[in-house]
Amino acid sequence: FQGYLDHEQFNQLEELQDDANPNFVEEVVTLYYRDSARLVHSIEQALEKSPIDFNKLDSYMHQFRGSSSSIGAKKVKAECSLFREYCRAGNGEGCMRTFQQVKKEYTALRKKLETFFQLARQAGPVDRARRPK
Amino acid sequence: MGLILRFQLRQSISLTISEPGESTSSEHHPNSNSFLRGLQVALVESDDLNRSVTRRLLEKLGCSVTPLSSGYECLSAIGPATSSFQVVLLDLQLPDLDGFEVAARIRKFRSRSWPLILAMTSSSAAEEDDLWEKCMQMGLNGVIRKPILLQGIANELRRVVLQANRVV
């Protein structure tokens, strides 16, 4: 996970998990997958339009950045911030280039998270408290 | 004026410091956050993920949370004079109504100082001074920056609650 996740933010999610909310981390991450898949799709469609509606793009990316930030997805968040700068500058090409980076980081993060949950499920509840490398 | 003060006194949040042995989820700071226990909070946040996480954070602090996902939902819940919310956590970037608009309406139809309203925002540090001023002008009591961390929200809540009690 090194570099992909802000440990303080992600640890907080783990600390919010307890007997009353035993699957909290997985629920939150599932929400993230759902919301981000929708936003990625919306952004792709918006980038295909001509002329590009930069305000709309910025709004989508603001949401994407917000939820990425809440789960501690710092690389994704960084690319989102860069994207928004291009948006504000009205630079369509910059947006498209940066969006490829956003998708790349996002896909890499999803893979890491999926592995994390697979390991957590195998290990069982006792080992859940321990963080993966 | 005196009548209003008395009304606020009744509604003020009593500060209780729990016994060290008392079971609490905030193991790191057992005494500093315990006075937030039972606090009636309206959480207004449109993003599902953020709402879910912030709600758990508040519950962990012992608050009683009502999650709301839009400006209009917030106004319907808080509008009636009988609503018992002590604190409103308000996302400034709501999709239906501007957060400041919501705050302005709460201040107009409820009271100048009750419930306590805290803004939640992802503004950058550069925009922060202006934002703080605008919040104070609009009658908000505090600002919480996103992404939200437990100690951050606890500190700001504590500051705002203590200030409210001091004024009275």
Q: What is the mean pLDDT of residues A6-13?
A: 91
Query: Are A72 and A108 in contact, with CB atoms under 8 Å apart?
Result: no
**Closest chain B C-alpha to A58 CA, distance in angstroms:** 13
Query: Are A85 and B124 in contact, with CB atoms under 8 Å apart?
Result: no
Task: Report helix, strand or coil for A42.
Answer: helix
pLDDT digits (tens, 9 = 90+) for B109-118: 877 788 999 9
Looking at residue A31, its pLDDT comes to 95
Whether chain A has a CB inside 8 Å of the CB on B146: the answer is yes
Looking at residue B168, its pLDDT comes to 57
Looking at residue B79, its pLDDT comes to 77
- Give the count of alpha carbons within 13 A of A121, CB side only: 8
φ, ψ of residue B114 to 5 degrees: the values are -140, 135
Whether the predicted pLDDT of B34 surpasses 80: no
All residues of chain A having their beta carbon less than 8 Å from the beta carbon of residue B53 are 12-13, 16, 28, 70-71
Looking at residue A131, its pLDDT comes to 52
Whether chain A has a CB inside 8 Å of the CB on B4: the answer is no
Angstrom distances, CA of residue B139 to CA of B10, B101, B105, B106, B156 = 21, 11, 11, 10, 16
Structural domains in chain B, CATH included, are: 36-152 (3.40.50.2300)
Q: What is the mean pLDDT of residues B137-148?
A: 93
ipTM: 0.84
pLDDT digits (tens, 9 = 90+) for A76-133: 999 999 999 999 999 999 999 999 999 999 999 999 999 988 888 887 665 445 555 4
pLDDT digits (tens, 9 = 90+) for A12-35: 999 999 999 999 999 999 999 999
Looking at residue A99, its pLDDT comes to 97
Q: What is the mean pLDDT of residues B70-88?
A: 88
CA–CA dist B69, B141 (Å, integer): 21
Burial B124-144 (b: 16+ CB within 10 A, else e): eeeeeeebeeebeeebbbbbb
**pTM of the predicted model as reported, rounded to 2 decimal places:** 0.82
Which of A47-51, B84-88, B105-109 bottoms out in mean pLDDT, i.e. has the lowest? Answer: B105-109
